Chains A and B, each alone.
Chain A
């Protein structure tokens, strides 16, 4: 019964469309959630949606690269990166990112609606030249929107850890865009993930001194020991 559904491309395409909606919902949460732990969960769910999308697309298209991307995303973005950020988050004891720069959550949700429309209008101007199916066009729009919403998170949130999640959201958007517009060689995807991990590693270690609510980490800044301090313990 289920297998007959899974063999039906029309059914899978609709599933992908529903997953698109889920992705946008997670992005909206990233813009407004104040609790760091929930933010991280939201990011993990978003990455999981990406895994499911590339799995479903693999079942329609049968391209091995999509399967490999799904596996890579699962390992790096659903498991490794959230676990690492969680470790740092627990260590430096921040639980909330209360302040917003420039935009409050409601305003940024309105702006992101505008951005989604903008992405649609912009891409429909260019994609008449490519032979791209409706679903793929939609994927490109959602990918670009997610990238823009991630950028909005970096702009509007204060804590470094939240900004990191914003950057990761942007990268998820680029991945989504890439899945639907071009089949990039898999080696490039691996290199991007490596780059992402180094960046997350560095920024979160730097965040130890800035974000922490615990006094000892602030002192560490003054005594100029943050690097060694961050790694020893």
Chain B
């Protein structure tokens, strides 16, 4: 019933957006779409008995992990849709978004939400693969929607790297299918069956199929060395889309890796695979922070920070203890929210200065106080300062890693310090610059503040309130939910 209601709501929202004439109407229907998805998710979580299969078929499976991811996705889409109301209006006024593309923007955005949701609920891994592929295609269309050459270049790069790597994932699926066929008699790609019988599988072939699957999922999450598309796509996309790309779409790849790791960890391959994940996690963090350090482009900085955080998530998965998993899951939520607020603030700053470059930013706090403070607080939160939730998540993940390898923890800590330095450097250089102090620049025409439109401040303020709340209190329902997930993945 849950999947069916998602599909029906998705189809209705799609139709309404398709037939509406004005921007206001399209935006309103899209907001309703996201709210309806949030409501269905909450309803499913609170009232229905999960984990359960959908409609008796084995294709879709609703458990706490999928509901958790879907709720995060729906929440971020809701915030992005509210933000889009004013933001898209500005883009059209600046003639960056052509009005003929407006309908494509909203219909594809709505389709993206529906496919993301279906991807998380897929039990059959081939089905998950196909929905994940579709999310790549739809989100690439959103990156290209501004039709400037650099946007189309970024979108093309994104499609070819992510989709090409996903083909290797499919080879992994074929391996897995054959492997399960050898052991169980008939081949299956249903995650629930695989995780039940994982202990019977040959570790060697399971590792091979994990590595192939990892290539695709890693490319989708922007893990080194498949991350090269990410900074371009995330920084060139309209900010409302960037928030979704970083906050939701990266989670899809991580979700795939997590599900597969839950299968692999029951066999003797666990050790090898977890070292594999730790290695890639560390490399990803290292490459990202080195790119962040001297970064001159605001959105590039945020995009590389996403790469860094995917590295931390890989570490969390690779450590493989129940506590590490618990905090990794919490980290996903904290990162998605914080990253969205950064992109939303960056979007306002980009409207103000019509540039993302460090040298064009000045007088931030007098021109754009909300976006300025939003970015400052968001930066503190994203580098993991207390009391923000990423701090506790990072702290406990590294604490668990300590039992694994001390040198690993030290290396990661060093890299995290560099990441903080990168943000600090950017903030000090860009946000303290004032045009009044520099004597000669007084002659320039004064900069007028960009009038922030409806709905663009609300997402930033509400996210900051949310992450502050999450930093101070750990809500009990959330704790129970995360514990359920850890239990259902077979960690306890």
Instruction: Contact check, B146 vs A144: say whether CB atoms are below 8 A apart.
Output: no
CB neighbours (8 Å) of B130 from chain A are 188, 191-192, 195
Give the interface SS of chain B, mostly helix, strand, loop or mixed: helix
- In chain B, what residue has the closest Cβ to A195? B133
CB neighbours (8 Å) of B187 from chain A are 182-184
Residue A170 interfacial (CB < 8 Å): yes
Residue B225 interfacial (CB < 8 Å): no
A171 to B181, CA, bound (A): 23
A136 to B100, CA, bound (A): 51
Instruction: Contact check, A177 vs B126: say whether CB atoms are below 8 A apart.
Output: no
Partner of A227, one of B147, B153, B168, B204: B147
- In chain A, what residue has the closest Cβ to B133? A195
Partner of B168, one of A147, A192, A207: A147
Known: A184-B174, A199-B137, A227-B104. A147 touches B147 (CB 8 A): no
Residue A226 interfacial (CB < 8 Å): yes
Cβ of A65 to closest chain B Cβ, rounded Å: 12
A174 to B133, CA, bound (A): 15
CB neighbours (8 Å) of B436 from chain A are none
Instruction: Contact check, B160 vs A154: say whether CB atoms are below 8 A apart.
Output: yes
- In chain A, what residue has the closest Cβ to B178? A182
Residue A203 interfacial (CB < 8 Å): yes
Digit string of A185-223 for contact with B (CB within 8 Å is 1, else 0)?
Answer: 000100110010011001100110110000000000100
Chain B: number of interface residues, binned into ranges:
35 or more
Known: A154-B164, A221-B149, A228-B100. A130 touches B182 (CB 8 A): yes
- In chain A, what residue has the closest Cβ to B132? A195
Residue B144 interfacial (CB < 8 Å): yes
Digit string of A148-162 for contact with B (CB within 8 Å is 1, else 0)?
Answer: 001100100000100
Known: A170-B164, A181-B174. A210 touches B98 (CB 8 A): no
Partner of B126, one of A129, A144, A188, A210: A188
A176 to B342, CA, bound (A): 45
CB neighbours (8 Å) of B98 from chain A are 224-225, 227-228
Residue B193 interfacial (CB < 8 Å): no
Residue A167 interfacial (CB < 8 Å): yes
Cβ of A99 to closest chain B Cβ, rounded Å: 15
Partner of A160, one of B104, B156, B164, B204: B156
Instruction: Contact check, B147 vs A226: say whether CB atoms are below 8 A apart.
Output: yes
- In chain B, what residue has the closest Cβ to A183? B187
Instruction: Contact check, B178 vs A147: say whether CB atoms are below 8 A apart.
Output: no
- In chain B, what residue has the closest Cβ to A179? B174
Instruction: Contact check, A170 vs B167: say whether CB atoms are below 8 A apart.
Output: yes
Interface residues of A (CB under 8 A from B): 126, 129-131, 144, 147, 150-151, 154, 160, 163, 167, 170-171, 173-174, 177-178, 181-184, 188, 191-192, 195, 198-199, 202-203, 206-207, 209-210, 221, 224-228
Closest 7 CB pairs of A and B: A228-B100, A226-B147, A182-B177, A224-B147, A182-B178, A188-B126, A191-B130
Additional A-B contact list (5), CB under 8 Å, known A181-B178, A192-B170, A210-B153: A160-B156, A167-B167, A181-B174, A224-B101, A228-B101
